[in-house]
Amino acid sequence: MTSPVMLNIDEHKDLRVITDRSEAYGDNTWFALTFPLEFRTLQAYYPIFFQKHAETGRFLAIALLGLREGENLFLEGDRWTVPYIPLSIKREPFLIGHQKVTVDGQERVERVIHIDMDNPRVNSDSGERLFMEFGGNSPYLDKVADMLDAIHHGLGQADDFMGALERHELLESFTLEVQLENNDKHQLVGLHTINEDKLGQLDGEALAELHAKGYLASIYMVLASHSNVMKMLAAKNKQVSAA
């Protein structure tokens, strides 16, 4: 259950947020939602694939973190094993909210920060302060605002990126199958990736369009990221051996 409310200093001046990493704080997730603006950093550590949303039918980009639900192979106890944490995970327990405001007689919708009060990171005793003692945002909350802004713009661009992939028929279904050193097998279905054959058959006009929007670079980052599956496999084998 979540309980998001609009963040404000009057009601939440004493709130703190724990930024430690742990399964107890929900970091044992097997994938993270992402977007093209994040691919450049993500592809150095995580494999990037695509999933179709069961209800909307829209394709979403994800960074794969584990081989089954509830597993994060990049989390060891209270330590994240690579330098970069996907923004969709790092932003917890904050969300992007909206409120209607009237400016010069005109009604418009503005983005505001919401916080999930049921999130185990939220408390009044330990962690990062959200507001300064005598008023104003803390440096941590300013960083959160920047993070949420990046997510907002990233997801906005993602819709156009996914539309371009579908328009040029560059997505193909993909099943990830791995075998561990103890001969256990894992299979992940429902994933999609870039169809390299169709990518190679695109004409100059299509390539120019993708390049002009920066999407061609994002496509190659997705393909390059798949080498990280071997790193995940090594982490899983290490985990199994330790057990």
Q: Is the pTM of this model over 0.85?
A: yes
Write down the pLDDT at residue 6: 92
Write down the pLDDT at residue 3: 77
Sheet holding 16-17, edge to edge: 122-123, 16-17, 128-129
Average pLDDT of adjacent 10-residue blocks, the chain of 243 residues: 84 94 95 96 97 88 95 94 96 87 69 92 95 89 95 93 96 92 90 96 95 96 96 91 80
Write down the pLDDT at residue 103: 67
Write down the pLDDT at residue 242: 81
Sequence-separated (6 or more) residues with CB below 8 Å from residue 224 = 43
The continuous run of DSSP H or E covering 92 comes out as: none
**Interatomic CA distance for residues 51 and 164, integer angstroms:** 16
203 three-state secondary structure: coil
Write down the pLDDT at residue 206: 95
**Residue 15, token pair as written in the block:** 């709130």
Write down the pLDDT at residue 59: 93
The continuous run of DSSP H or E covering 16 comes out as: strand 16-17
Write down the pLDDT at residue 101: 66
Sheet holding 94-103, edge to edge: 4-6, 106-116, 94-103
Write down the pLDDT at residue 97: 83
What is the identity of the amino acid at 104?
D
The continuous run of DSSP H or E covering 64 comes out as: strand 59-64
Write down the pLDDT at residue 55: 83
**Residue 125, token pair as written in the block:** 């005793």
Write down the pLDDT at residue 102: 64
